[in-house]
Amino acid sequence: MQNPTLSPFGKPLLRAFYGRETTLVARELLGRVLIHASPEGMAAGRIVETEAYRQDDPASHSYRGQTPRNAPMFGAPGTAYVYFIYGTHWCFNVVTAQEGIGEAALIRALEPLEGIALMERRRNLADLRRLCRGPGSLCAAMGITGALNSADLTQPGTVWIAEGQPVSDPQVVSTQRVGITRAVHHPWRYYVANSRYISRK
C-alpha cells in the first residue's frame, strides 16, 4: 500500500471525531479500521467491540486524577493510550472528549481484515475468530505495545484508525462493561450485533 490515506479503508479519522462525548465516540468507532504499519508488515482489523471510560467513572484509570501512567488519557483527543495489565497483556485505547479531562475508549475486539498471516504468526494461532478477540489478544495480533503509547492516531504513519464503514444503530448492542469491579452498571460497552469476532456475549 503506497499511500495509506488512499487505502481501501478510507482516510484517518480526524481529531474532531474523537473530540466528542466519550460514549458516543466509543459507539461510533464500531466499523472503523485500526491499522498498524510495522517493520514486519501491515495489519488491519475492523473494530467490532469497544468500551467507554469517563472521568467521573470509578472504573476509569483517570478517576483519581492524573498520574504518570494515565497521562496520555489527559492528552489531545485522538491520542493512543496503551497500558500493560496482569503482567502479560497490552490494552489499546483512544483518547476522547477534551484534552485535560481524562477520557478514553478501549478497543476490545477486531475482525481481522489485512495482514492475517502476520497476525497468526504473532499469536501463534490460526483461528480467525479468536485472533483479535479481547483487548489483550488484539494488541498481540496487531503488534501493539507500550512503544505506541501516546501515538497520534489522526496521522497515517505507524498506527491510526481509518473511517471504514460506520455501523447503523439497529446493529449496535450496548451492555455492561467487562472485567471491572466498580461502576459495573453503566451500559458503556458497545458491539456489532451478529459479529463472530466479539470477546463474549
| Closest by Cα among 140, 142, 150 to 33 | 142
Residues that bind DNA (CB under 7 A): 51, 53, 59-62, 64, 67-70, 73, 81, 84-89, 91, 93, 104, 106, 123, 125, 130, 133-138, 177-182, 199
Give min distance, CB of 67 to DNA, in A: 3
Cell 483479535 found at = 132
Give min distance, CB of 53 to DNA, in A: 4
Give min distance, CB of 170 to DNA, in A: 26
Cell of 27: 459507539
Angle made by CA atoms 156, 161, 167, in degrees to the nearest 5: 145
Q: Which is nearer to DNA, 33 or 59 (CB)?
A: 59
Cell of 78: 485522538
Give min distance, CB of 22 to DNA, in A: 10
Give min distance, CB of 110 to DNA, in A: 11
Computed over its alpha carbons, how large is the radius of gyration of the chain? 15
Residue 153 main-chain phi, psi, to 5 deg: -85, 0
Helix, strand, coil percentages (3-state) for the chain, rounded to 5, are: 20, 30, 50
Instruction: In the chain, count H helices and then E strands.
Output: 5, 8
